[in-house]
Amino acid sequence: MYAIRLTTNPRLFVFSTLRNYSNNVRIISNSFSTKIPTSHEPLPESHRGRVPTNIWEKTNTNLHTKPNHPLNILRKTIESHIQNTDESCMFNMNTSLSPIVTSEHCFDDLLVPSDHISRNASDTYYIDDNTLLRTHMTAHDPYLLRSGMKAALSTGDVYRRDTVDRTHYPIFHQMDAFKLYQTNSLIKSKTRHQIENDLKNVLVDLAHTLFGQGAKFRWVNTYFPFTTPSFELEILWNNDEWLEVLGCGLLHNEVLEKSGLNSDEVQGWAFGLGLERLAMILFNIPDIRLFWCTDERFVKQFNDNFHLKDMKFKPFSAFPPIEKHLSFWVNGQFHENDFCQTARAVGGDLIEHVEVIDRFQRNGQESLCFNVVFRSLHRSLTHVEVNEIYESLRQQVATNLPVTLR
């Protein structure tokens, strides 16, 4: 999440009914196209340079709509929960919005500061200077608001250059929702208070649906550029660990205005959650790469007709890991994600974990040593094949990154 944690703030909630925003959406200005992009065309080769092929090839997979896939099962559970919270308000359920967005949609329209790390090329897959693979599903909210939607829940794949381990994968899935309410300048602050209660009630109910009625939760005040106030919901897991489950808040007035709405007349809530993280906790899935595997021993364990509580993944035998070290001097602008990225591009899903295990400075130059753990989810790897991948990783690192191998 792009959050900066501020304080811990557990609360109790008062249930209230609120009238949601009905017809009469007043579009103040609409200089933007309101055509909603759905599935995307393949990009011309010339534009793909900055997105590795193994990432690009997955952009049309849509795990969240694959029958019997755990992410699809979870999405549908959450969709029906959210829709059932208010019969008078129809949520637009979007599952095929194109992952290719502009930086205006992904950042500017959401008030993401111009120097925010999420905009860096070491964190985000840019296709060209102004086009990128979305880093979060919130990227669509201003666009959907502009098109006149009053409530929406959008699910899709999001892309981030990141570390490589069992809980991080460059592609994951998010659900992002918003709901608008009608107000006027006299009662605006009262409405905002009620909207906050409504949001928290909806999400606590959702947490109970997913984690059981007895689940303990707490609210943490936080920061998101596009909501104010902003909160995270945390769940007490196994009685000893607080897990962050989702981010949410009241839509920032400026986001509403930028989306062509009058913030004196319309207010709203929004929330976003990561599906893999939830599914890993709920179904005991130990490695994020499993979501992409087509091995029957994984796939057969999930079914659209099973009850959520009955789906607990039973691990099949673990194959042995093979570890390799790679050390180099850093000569220029280098980010650890660049190394992780190269490792994923060369070794694909055979790479389980990448980590810096040694770092020192000599004569003003930095030396890094990475440990790369190879392990297949399906079979035992041979030393010969791992050595081959390792050699080509060394070559790629030496050619493409500002480093000198040691």
Taking CA atoms, 152 is separated from 23, 39, 62, 175, in Å, by 15, 18, 19, 10
Site mask for ligand DAH (CB under 6 A), range 91-130, x = bound:
----------------------------------------
- Which one of 99, 225, 247, 268 is in contact with ligand DAH (CB under 6 A)? 247
SS3 55: helix
Options 41-49, 100-108, 243-251, 330-338: segment touching ligand DAH (CB under 6 A): 243-251
Provide the minimum distance between the beta carbon of 310 and ligand DAH in the complex, in angstroms, as a whole number: 29
Task: Return the number of the residue (230 or 341) whose C-beta is nearest ligand DAH.
Answer: 230
SS3 213: coil
Residue 303 pairs in a beta bridge with none
- Which one of 82, 272, 280, 340 is in contact with ligand DAH (CB under 6 A)? 272
SS3 61: coil
Site for ligand DAH contains 224 (CB under 6 A): yes
Task: Return the number of the residue (151 or 346) whose C-beta is nearest ligand DAH.
Answer: 151
**Under 8 Å CB-to-CB from 348, ≥6 apart: which residues?**
54
Q: Burial-class residue 111 by CB neighbours within 10 Å (0-12, 13-18, 19+).
A: middle
Site for ligand DAH contains 347 (CB under 6 A): no
Q: Burial-class residue 221 by CB neighbours within 10 Å (0-12, 13-18, 19+).
A: middle
Provide the minimum distance between the beta carbon of 152 and ligand DAH in the complex, in angstroms, as a whole number: 11
Options 147-155, 206-214, 244-252, 372-380: segment touching ligand DAH (CB under 6 A): 244-252
Residue 366 pairs in a beta bridge with 330, 361
Measured from each CB, the residue nearest to ligand DAH is 272
Site for ligand DAH contains 176 (CB under 6 A): yes
- Core vs surface per residue 17-49: b (16+ CB within 10 A) or e: ebebbeeebeeeeeebeeebbeeeeeeeeeeee
- Which one of 142, 249, 260, 347 is in contact with ligand DAH (CB under 6 A)? 249
**Under 8 Å CB-to-CB from 275, ≥6 apart: which residues?**
64, 71, 74, 75, 155, 172, 173, 174, 175
Options 67-75, 149-157, 247-255, 371-379: segment touching ligand DAH (CB under 6 A): 247-255
Provide the minimum distance between the beta carbon of 338 and ligand DAH in the complex, in angstroms, as a whole number: 22
Contacting positions for ligand DAH (CB under 6 A)? 1-2, 136, 138, 176, 224, 227, 247-249, 270-272
